[in-house]
Structure 1
Amino acid sequence: MTYLVAHDLPTLPAGERFRELLQRPGILQIPGAHCGLAALQAKAARFEALYLSGAAMSASMGLPDLGILTIEDVCFFVRQVSRASQLPVLVDGDTGFGEALNVMNMVRAFEDAGAAAVQIEDQILPKKCGHLNDKKLIAPEDMAAKIAAAAKARRHLYIVARTDAAADEGLDSAINRARLYVEAGADAIFPEALHDPEAFRKFSETIKVPLLANMTEFGRTPFMTASEFEALGYKMVIWPVSALRMAAKAQADLYEGIRNDGGTHRLIDRMQTRAELYATIGYHEYEALDSSIITSVTPEGMPQRSTGK
């Protein structure tokens, strides 16, 4: 049913629903969804939670992932993905958009927009993708202060602290940072850009809160499946930009095809049909909902007051 039908909406806050998913056995698979349509397609594929990547949001706006987006930019994406799918959404909060007070503002804004969880990383601006070189980190104590501020501000939001320390400071430093972030109030830890299974295993043997693995393509982490991450002690795995990469490549092929062939006739079999699109977005359900609403009758004029004569 469409999200406009009130009785079809989830009753529990999104953060609580996210926690319930993590209490079940097994690893939670969280694909990236960069727009409402992608969110509906992921839901149709029976995923139960979604990831909203800063890189995917930025790229969809034609911008690099360098911390350029504002809180309101991100809230626009949170609203459409959470409304469309009604699934818990883990949102990339980059560095928290500033210091402690800014982080608290972000937490409240994301909750109001419908987010279930937020990821905050320990870089300084301009931040970079975790799999690139020359990242600059803030002091561990400053990051811990941001995590504590997020925990103080939240009503239900699940807090994931990401550390990018492994690449430049070493694995032991990343583990020490993770311990501090957990003490500050992080619900889970996201060790970014680990480069081999043994590093993932060492992290999980040391840090006992839920851990998130990032299976991004074209990065430092070797390809592993969800079951392999689970065997290494991880509770969540994200594929943050995979859907956007597939969509972007298909769009590039389409534009090239139109330019070269003068039309789309060679690419029709790669397109979602009109019927498939309408089924995905629930077009006919919206039509039925619209036709079920009785049109209000507006009086043509104000009744005249009696003069008593």
Structure 2
Amino acid sequence: MSLPEMSHPEQDRGPEPSPGARLRRLLADGGLVTAPGVYDGLTAALVARTGFGAAYLTGAGVAVGGFGLPDIGLLTATEMAERARVVVAALGGVPLIADADTGYGTAMNVVRTVREYERAGVAAIQLEDQAFPKKCGHLPDKELIPAAEFQDKLSAALDARTDPDLVVIARTDARGPSGLDEAIDRANRYAAAGADLIFVEAPQSIGEIERIAAEVRAPLLINMVQGGLTPDTGPDRLAALGYRIAIHPGALLGPTVLAGFDALVRLGGTLPSDLTPGPQGLFELVGLREWSAIGERYRSAGERVGA
């Protein structure tokens, strides 16, 4: 008599869903997904152990907390992809939404960026329409590329993904340099081009948050930056307006800096006398003024040569 065939539970369950599929299932539940910002293995482990459904790999946090640099386009695609691998491992099964800045170059570079981020295990990749080098969305003097050029980069990202469930997020920074009308127009263009989620950076009032929700024809992500340009808005209000994801990039970074200063003062250190509040002050701690001076020095030299 032959033995009955044994069941293998791991086979019965079928293949594990991809990171993108896990995030899409979370979004399909209909509520607001709150994604705290993470930038290293420790912050990822903290988010994983406190019950959040998703996390956000913050480019500003990786720049400041991982490299001691301001968020002004100094990091590379490979540095960010490697950090994504570390964070994905520490998160376990928690889906990671990953900042990829401008894609680190042209549409060709975007293709490589998407491939590397996918290999790292991210659930979503976020691309923005700033010119390179980009700046934190809550700093002044941002520059944009033409909307059509960003649509080409967005198309490259959509074509490059090997997992069709990878979520592609299109961010526009047009509100600051060009106004809210232009930001909404770009948002709708990027949605029509196929972006899964739209991110209008730095609305400056509750009225603007409401208008974006009413006029952008796509699922929406919003960025809650402590001390930034966007007023703090509760999750219930955001959910009622129809926002699907709220990222909080500084949720762990800001308190870590404050606690660090407190601990160092207790050891006999002294606080810097020139602290500036908000994101700009954070970046000044890691050399914003010095790096900005370097950029201005060589830009001025180039202008003189071309004159």
**Which interval holds the TM-score relative to the shorter structure?**
0.7 to 0.9
1:155 aligns with 2:162: yes
> Contact 1:145–1:184 at 8 Å: present in 2 too?
no
Report the Cα distance in structure 2 between the residues aligned to 1:134 and 1:70, rounded to whole angstroms. Answer: 22
Cα distance in 2 for residues equivalent to 1:236 and 1:47: 12
Distance 1:125 1:23 in 2: 34
Structure 2: runs of 5 or more not aligned: 1-9, 271-307
Q: Is the 8 A contact 2:188 2:217 kept in 1?
A: no
In structure 2, C-alpha distance between the alignment counterparts of 1:193 and 1:127, rounded to whole Å: 15
Aligned to 1:304: none
Distance of 1:196 and 1:251 partners within structure 2: 32
Deviations 1:215-267 (A, max 9, x none): 11111111111112112221110101220111122122222222369xxxxxx
Q: Which has the larger radius of gyration?
A: 1
1:101 aligns with 2:108: yes
The counterpart of 1:42, out of the listed 33, 41, 47, is: 47
Q: Residue 257 and residue 173 in structure 1: after superposition, are their counterparts in 2 closer, same or farther (change >3 A)? A: same
On the 8 A contact 1:119/1:161 being kept in 2, the answer is yes
Residue 110 of structure 2 corresponds to residue 117 of structure 1: no
1:71 to 77, 99, 104: 77
Output one character per residue of 1:114-143: Cα deviation in whole Å (capped at 9) or x when no partner: 111011111012211111111100000001
Q: Describe how 1:214-233 pairs up with structure 2 within 5 A.
A: 214-233=223-242
Q: How does 1:24-43 map to 2 (within 5 A)?
A: 24-43=29-48
Amino acid at match of 1:55: A
Is residue 27 of structure 2 the alignment partner of residue 22 of structure 1?
yes
Residue segments in structure 1 that go unaligned for 5+ positions in a row? 1-5, 262-309
CA gap 1:260/1:145 in 2 versus in 1, 3 angstroms: closer
User: CA separation in 2, counterparts of 1:260 and 1:183?
Assistant: 54
The answer as to whether partners of 2:99 and 2:125 remain within 8 angstroms in 1 is yes
Distance 1:228 1:133 in 2: 28
Q: Note if 1:186 corresponds to 2:195.
A: yes
State the alpha-carbon separation in 1 of the partners of residues 162 and 268 from structure 2: 51
Mapping of residues 274-285 of structure 1, within 5 Å: none
1:259 aligns to what SS in structure 2? coil
Aligned partners of 1:224, 1:207: CA distance in 2, in Å? 19
SS of 2:252's equivalent in the other structure is helix
Deviations 1:48-85 (A, max 9, x none): 10001110000011011111111111122111111111
CA contact (8 A) 1:197 1:232 kept: no
CA contact (8 A) 2:191 2:217 kept: no
Q: Aligned with 1:43: secondary structure?
A: helix
1:152-195 C-alpha deviation (Å, 9 max, x unpaired): 00123211100011122111111111111112221010000001
Aligned to 1:11: 16
Preserved CA contact (<8 Å) 1:194 1:200: yes
1:165 and 2:174 aligned: yes
Query: What's the CA shift string for 1:19-70, capped at 9, x where partnerless?
Result: 1111112101111111111111112211010001110000011011111111
Cα distance between partner residues in 2 of 1:120 and 1:137: 13
- Mapped partners of 2:96, 2:269: distance in 1: 40
How many residues are paired up?
254
Identity %, equivalent residues: 41
SS of the counterpart of 2:125? strand
- Give the secondary-structure state (helix, strand or coil) at the position aligned to 1:235: strand
Contact 2:171 2:200 (8 Å CA) reproduced: yes
Structure 1 window deviating more from structure 2 (146-155 vs 30-39): it is: 30-39
